[in-house]
Amino acid sequence: MTGYKLVMLPYHLRKELVARANGRTSEELFQFIDNKPQVGELKFEIFTRSDLPEKLFIEMFNLLESNMKSLYERSSWGWDREKKVEEMNNKACRYIVVINEVGSVVGFCHFRFDMERGRTALYCYEIQVAEHYRRQGVGTAIIEIVKQLAAKTKMLNVFVTVFKFNENSLKFFVKQAFVEDTYSPTKEEHADYYILSKQI
């Protein structure tokens, strides 16, 4: 189904697509990845919150905190550890987890299927890569998986939120052909983040 046809679907049918995507198991989502990325010895796995091992969750959260705490503290949002834990524990959470040869988390994507301003959407809440694994194709591989999942579940757009002062992330997403979304805050709103999107 093309993007045009998805946009033209009645709203209740678009919501049904999101509900169907949210009903998929981690195994079903993994089977949607036709072109599985190859980055050294790294493994890419998919989990729902209910089947994510606690060890991996702890490592993922520690990675998030290490990468992002100082950036959140610079932002108008501030850093709220309990709120972040709650966000990542939501039953709607889905995760792409990147695991190295000794079983440790070296990257992950926290995403959800949702409606965004009437559009079926795969929203990436987090894409995190450990410092020693950056610039090795891990982030690009995660985005490739995200695009395949969005296409197979008939999501019209992939969305991310990026702090305006996070220059490395902005460069990465521009390289991945994301653009500022129509509903990104305007200059007059003085927000310190962009909403970026990529049509599938």
pLDDT, tens only, 31-43? 999 999 999 999 9
Q: What predicted TM-score, i.e. pTM, was given to this entire model?
A: 0.94
Domain boundaries, the chain: 10-155
| Per-residue pLDDT at 9 | 82
| Per-residue pLDDT at 186 | 85
| Per-residue pLDDT at 181 | 96
Could you say which residues of the chain have pLDDT below 70? 1-7
Q: Are 128 and 67 in contact (CB under 8 A)?
A: yes
Q: Are 110 and 142 in contact (CB under 8 A)?
A: no
| Per-residue pLDDT at 189 | 85
Q: 49-58, pLDDT tens digit by residue?
A: 999 999 999 9
| Per-residue pLDDT at 188 | 80
Phi, psi values for residue 21, rounded to 5°: -65, -40
| Per-residue pLDDT at 39 | 95
Look at strands 119-129 and 105-116 and give their pairing. Answer: antiparallel
Q: What six digits make up the tokens of 40? A: 């050294």
| Per-residue pLDDT at 187 | 81
CATH of 10-155, one of 1.10.10.10, 3.40.630.30, 3.50.50.60, 2.70.70.10: 3.40.630.30
| Per-residue pLDDT at 1 | 56
